[in-house]
Amino acid sequence: MHAKVDTASLRRDYYQRLSTQAMKPLWEVLANLVPPLPATDAQAAIWRWEDALPFLRESGELITAQEAERRVLILENPGLPGQNTCTPTIYAGLQLILPGEVAPAHRHTQSALRFVVDGEGAYTAVNGERVTMHPGDFIITPKWTWHDHGNPGDQAVTWLDGLDIAVVRMLGAQFRENLHEATQGVQRPEGDAAARFGANMLPLDYQPHDGVTPIFCYPYHASRAALMQLHENAGSRVGEGGLHACHGIKLQYVNPASGGSPIPTIAAFLQVLPKGFAGAPYRSTDGMIYSVVEGEGRIEFDDHSFEFKPKDTFVVPSWMRHRLHASEQSVLFSFSDRPIHKALHLWRESVGESVS
Ligand code: 1HN
């Protein structure tokens, strides 16, 4: 007994002196550093549109887009306070641009995606080409491309931003520049990139370069039509050619020139859950952020669940078992850090274990 107390206090004293040398004992933290299963402080969370909207509107009265540079409410994971991030790797936020506003041009090494949640008529300009936003459109701002946003229309427009900020920070590879003008010049008419790269064709001299998609808008009407066709073909059949037991009908967005993900670090998906769908339990190592486009349903975890409605955003952390239920036919957009997991051969998924 006496000897034990002695050992404990000797160790404490040793650790204290050791800390002055910028060293510490591995044996005190080994189990945490290398856990048996994925361990993240990130929590499942939902940001309901009806709760977010009044705060977005208020932000519009408090600060202009120009003054803020980007008027965004960060969706910070409640399990990662102070880290300005939604999952350990991926940042998410809701960005508002009001009629007549511009968000000035800059570029950075972080890649961004936008998913249009509410309103239409704003544009994002990427490297000299504008694309007009409609609800459900999925838009890319590749790393190190000049981008600015503007709203020449008459509606407030809100979109969900997703960026690989924490990944680029971890790598110490953050660079950023502001353009000398707020709005970059238009160099090509709207629709140019979509015509060159978005019709299952490529320019004669196209050379794939940096793994980034050459099209930067995936219009909702086209993605939705594909899902609905597959839904119609599948009927209520589960399995090959039919519904996936966990995901309903789910497709991934693709870089048409490479077959890879549109952003090297982020994969994005669109899925339809038929009315009455009760998904099988699922988990995967990538932490997933969802934006609800249409319908109504519920996501069930082992010990709690969230009801979701259109324009809600929710996050499912790495390896957290869950099931999707749809009380109405639902369309969900989602994105995650899956390409990083896959590049490192770390991605795992597990289908069908019971949610207790
Ligand atoms: C950014 O450039 C945008 O361009 C949005 O709209 C959110 C969050 C952090 C850093 C850069 C944008 C951002 C961002």
Per-residue CA distances from 273 to 49, 159, 231, 289 (Å) = 20, 22, 9, 17
Q: Residues, the chain, total?
A: 356
Lowest mean pLDDT among 3-12, 327-336, 341-350: 3-12
Residue of 163, 164, 216, 266 to test ligand 1 pocket, by largest number of atoms within 8 Å of CB:
163
CA separation for the pair 159, 113 (Å, rounded): 10
Non-local (6+) Cβ contacts of 44 within 8 A are 299, 301, 304, 306, 314, 315, 316, 317, 320, 322
| Cα separations in angstroms, 85 against 51, 89, 250, 263, 285 | 19, 7, 26, 18, 17
Ranking 95-99, 155-159, 258-262, 343-347 by mean pLDDT, the lowest is 258-262
Q: What is the mean pLDDT of residues 160-171?
A: 98
Our separate counts of H helices and E strands in the chain read 8, 20
Q: Is the pLDDT of residue 228 over 90?
A: yes
pLDDT higher for 354 or 117? 117
Cα angle, residue 115 at apex, residues 71 and 321 outer, rounded to 5°: 110
Which band of pLDDT confidence, cut at 50, 70 and 90, is reported for residue 236?
confident
DSSP-derived letter for residue 60 is H
> What is the 287 CA–ligand 1 centroid distance (Å)?
20
What pLDDT, on a 0 to 100 scale, did the predictor assign at position 211? 73
**Range name among 29-33, 82-86, 170-174, 236-240 with the lowest pLDDT average:** 236-240
Which residue puts its alpha carbon closest to atom 14 of ligand 1? 70
Nearest-atom number in ligand 1 for the CA of 103 is 6
pLDDT value at 1 more than 60 = no
**Region 36-355: CATH code:** 2.60.120.10
The values of phi and psi at residue 166, to 5°, are -70, -30
Task: Give the pLDDT band of residue 4 (cuts 50, 70, 90).
Answer: low
Query: Please, which pLDDT band fits residue 231 given cuts at 50, 70 and 90?
Result: very high
**Bridge partner residues of 120 (DSSP):** none
Res. 355: pLDDT tops 80: no
**C-alpha 70 to ligand 1 mean position (Å):** 6
Q: What are the residue ranges spanned by the domains of the chain?
A: 36-355
CA of 339 to the centre of ligand 1 (A): 21
Section 169-180 average pLDDT:
97
Q: How far is the CA of 114 from the centre of ligand 1 (A)?
A: 10
What pLDDT shows up at residue 245?
Answer: 96
Residue-wise pLDDT tens digits, 15-57: 999 999 999 999 999 999 999 999 999 999 999 999 999 999 9
**What digits encode the pLDDT tens for the residues 122-148?**
999 999 999 999 999 999 999 999 999
Query: Measured between alpha carbons, how far is 278 from 61 in angstroms, rounded to an integer?
Result: 42
Taking the alpha carbons at both ends of the chain, their separation in whole angstroms is 43
The residue whose two tokens read 């073909």 is 233
pLDDT tens track for 254-304: 999 989 999 999 999 999 999 999 999 999 999 999 999 999 999 999 999
Q: Which of 59, 141, 161 most suits a substitution to test ligand 1, by most atoms within 8 Å of the C-beta?
A: 161
Atom of ligand 1 nearest to the CA of 149: 6
Per-chain mean pLDDT for the chain: 95
Question: Rounded to the nearest whole angstrom, what is the distance from the C-alpha of residue 324 to the centroid of ligand 1?
Answer: 30
pTM higher than the cut 0.85: yes
Structure-token pair, residue 351: 């289908």
- Index of the ligand 1 atom closest to the CA of residue 74: 8
Report d(CA 147, CA 284) in Å as an integer.
33
Q: Are 341 and 286 in contact (CB under 8 A)?
A: yes
Confidence of residue 354 (pLDDT cuts 50, 70, 90): low
What's the average model confidence in pLDDT over 326-334?
98
- Residues contacting 143, CB < 8 A, separation 6+: 108, 109, 110, 111, 210, 212, 263
pLDDT band at 3 (very low <50, low <70, confident <90, very high): low
Q: Determine the distance from the C-alpha atom of residue 100 to the mean position of all C-alpha atoms in its chain, rounded to a whole number.
A: 27
| Confidence (pLDDT) at 356 | 44
Q: How many CA atoms lie within 13 A of 279 on its CB side?
A: 28
Question: 């808008």: which residue's tokens?
Answer: 217
Residue 92 CA to ligand 1 center (angstroms) comes to 10
> Looking at ligand 1, which atom is closest to the CA of residue 148?
4
Mutate to test the pocket of ligand 1, among 70, 89, 177 (most ligand atoms within 8 A of CB): 70
**Residue 215 CA to ligand 1 centre (angstroms):** 19
Q: How far is CA 327 from CA 126, 164, 252, 298, 355, in A?
A: 38, 33, 24, 8, 19
Ligand 1: residues with CB < 6 A are 70, 72, 93, 95, 103, 112, 147, 161, 163, 165
- The answer to whether 355 and 312 have CB atoms below 8 angstroms apart is no
| Predicted pLDDT of residue 241 | 83
